[in-house]
């Protein structure tokens, strides 16, 4: 049986850890050749090593997605190495501060928007140009469950992820006639380093984990591989009639919130 991404060339940003690393390894196992990008060179190179260790092929590239020239260099490196670009997962992101809107630091706001929203925009611009020239392609943008609902004290993150969904839908409409599909994946609380180790209340603390798990009807946090599988499907030919869709992978958090508000 053929693999899901056999003969595909894929680009993954934010590949050094968490969902990005898990998706990279899965893509490699499913037959894709990979261009991997991150500002964390050591982590990105380790991800590339894991891909190759499992029989895949991967190129690690340093890239700050908020820098237009760095993004253009990344796309050029991928195409130069592999000859084309079939799919992309724009996953690079940061968490940001946890403060009320009135107290949110402007510099912190700018940083979150630069990486989480402008970084997706810049990546999509370069990817779309390449894919349009080929006549086909698939892009998946990393949004979040807070792109469809909101949590308090996450003003910049909420705004950026809502923006990613709007940007995804706009591009999907504009480029459907060019053979390019554009979707978003919206993870809920996932066991990534950002969630388990970051912030004021890391989920590695049992009491915090229990509180977060309690938000989901499935009563647990998700695993990175569960998001990776959704991304792989969206990038594959199996999702050939799916575009402009924010696929929520959250254990029922958004559905539970909607029901509570009825």
> In angstroms, rounded to a whole number, what is the distance separating the alpha carbons of residues 104 and 98?
8
The predicted structure's pLDDT at residue 198: 77
Summarize the confidence of residues 76-97 as an average pLDDT: 96
Task: Kindly provide the b/e burial profile for residues 230-260, where b requires at least 16 CB atoms within 10 angstroms of the residue's own CB.
Answer: bbbbbbbeebeeebbbbbbbbbebbebbeee
Tell me what pLDDT residue 258 has.
58
**Res 2: pLDDT:** 81
Cross-strand partners of 13: 37
Closest residue by Cα to residue 15 from 190, 257, 228, 260: 228
Distance CA 15, CA 107 (A): 25
Mean pLDDT, residues 33-62: 97
How many angstroms separate the CA atoms of 223 and 19, rounded?
8
Please report, rounded to a whole number, the percentage of residues in the chain having pLDDT higher than 70.
97
The arithmetic mean of pLDDT across residues 30-50, rounded, is: 98
Q: CA 181 to CA 171: how far, in whole Å? A: 8
Domains and CATH numbers, the chain: 9-192+224-250 (3.40.50.720)
Helices (H), ranges, the chain: 18-29, 41-53, 68-82, 106-113, 119-134, 155-175, 193-197, 206-213, 224-235, 253-261
Tell me, what's the pLDDT at 200? 73
153 is an active site residue? no
The pLDDT mean for the chain works out to: 95
Q: Could you report the per-residue pLDDT of 94-113, keeping only the tens digit for each?
A: 998 889 999 999 999 999 99
- Residue of 180, 79, 83, 74 whose CA lies nearest to 132: 180
The active-site residue out of 104, 153, 157, 209 is: 157
In the predicted model, is pLDDT for residue 48 greater than 80? Answer: yes
């Amino acid at each position: 049986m053929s693999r899901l991404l056999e003969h595909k060339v894929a680009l993954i940003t934010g590949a050094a850890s968490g969902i990005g690393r898990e998706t990279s390894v899965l893509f490699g196992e499913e037959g894709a050749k990979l261009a991997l990008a991150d500002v964390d060179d050591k982590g990105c190179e380790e991800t590339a090593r894991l891909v190759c260790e499992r029989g895949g092929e991967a190129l690690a590239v340093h890239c700050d997605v908020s820098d237009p020239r760095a993004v253009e260099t990344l796309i050029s490196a991928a195409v130069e190495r592999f000859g084309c670009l079939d799919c992309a997962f724009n996953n690079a992101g940061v968490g940001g501060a946890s403060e009320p809107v009135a107290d949110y630091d402007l510099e912190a706001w700018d940083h979150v928007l630069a990486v989480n929203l402008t970084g997706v925009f810049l990546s999509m611009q370069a990817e779309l140009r390449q894919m349009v020239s080929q006549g086909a392609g698939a892009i998946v943008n990393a949004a979040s469950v807070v792109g469809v609902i909101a949590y308090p004290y996450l003003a910049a993150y909420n705004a950026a992820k809502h923006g990613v969904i709007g940007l995804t839908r706009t591009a999907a409409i504009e480029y459907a006639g060019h053979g390019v599909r554009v979707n978003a994946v919206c993870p809920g609380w996932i066991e990534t380093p950002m969630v388990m180790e970051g912030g004021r209340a890391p989920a590695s603390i049992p009491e915090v984990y229990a509180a977060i798990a309690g938000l989901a009807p499935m009563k647990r946090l998700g695993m990175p591989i569960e998001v990776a599988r959704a991304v792989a499907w969206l990038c594959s030919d199996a999702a050939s009639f799916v575009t402009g869709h924010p696929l929520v992978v959250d254990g029922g958090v958004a559905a539970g919130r909607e029901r509570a508000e009825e």
